[in-house]
Amino acid sequence: MEGPAKLGIAVAVFSLLLFGGIILVDRGKNATGEPLMGTFFESQGQAHIAVGAAHDPYNSNPPTSGPHYAEPADWGVYDRELPDEQLIHNLEHGGVNIFYKPGGVNQETIDKLKLIQRAFPRKTVLTPRSVNNKPITLTSWTYLLELDSFDEATVREFIRRNKDKAPEYFPD
């Protein structure tokens, strides 16, 4: 093998190792280098499925990645539950889903969560979800944080750190 060919292969291998290293170091950090908040769950992919289509079970409750509908929910506040398969698409776009368990929080807490959602109007969805394990749950792409009670600073910090850390970036 000629010198330039060897050099080309060496540069290609070095680039792959360097790029792979950046990916490994980058996982779990936001754009400013801060660690993401919550429990990490391996990605289950980004496959689009038809509304109502069957799929493998998700690896977290609520899901943080996986098969989802082609149409995301509009950012905002909902007083009804939305399908997990729709909300995953919001996560894929760098959003954060804020869930409260009906009966698990009072109206004052829901009102405080609404104020937080309005502070991040183009990156959050607030909706009830009856099958949550805890009264308040936050999700971003591959991350989940469960809270036993409302903690405004924690909710805001999760959103701040975890928003826009997803496979598809959509500016605020």
Token code pair at residue 109: 């807490």
Predicted confidence at residue 58, as pLDDT, reads 98
Count CB atoms within 10 A of the CB of residue 169.
10
- Where helices occur in the chain by DSSP H, the ranges are 3-26, 84-92, 107-119, 152-162
Cβ-based neighbours of 139, under 8 Å, separated by 6 or more: 38, 60, 62, 63, 64, 87, 91, 96, 97, 99, 145
CATH, domain 38-162, list 1.25.40, 1.20.1300, 3.90.550, 3.40.30: 3.40.30
* Widest distance between CA atoms in the chain: 73
Q: Is the pLDDT of residue 97 over 80?
A: yes
Compute the mean pLDDT over every residue in the chain, rounded to the nearest whole number. 88
Amino acid present at 169:
Y
Cβ-based neighbours of 108, under 8 Å, separated by 6 or more: none
Q: Is the pLDDT of residue 9 over 50?
A: no
Q: Is the pLDDT of residue 142 over 50?
A: yes
Q: Is the pLDDT of residue 83 over 80?
A: yes
Predicted confidence at residue 6, as pLDDT, reads 53
Where b means 16+ CB within 10 Å and e means fewer, 115-140 reads ebbeebeebbbbbbbeebeebbbbbb
Residue range 47-74, pLDDT digits in tens: 999 999 999 999 999 999 999 999 999 9
Predicted confidence at residue 69, as pLDDT, reads 98
Q: Is the pLDDT of residue 124 over 50?
A: yes
| pTM (two decimals) | 0.83
Task: Please tell me which residue, 1 or 59, carries the higher pLDDT value.
Answer: 59
Q: Is the pLDDT of residue 18 over 50?
A: no
- What is the percent of the chain where pLDDT is above 70? 84
Token code pair at residue 134: 């805890």
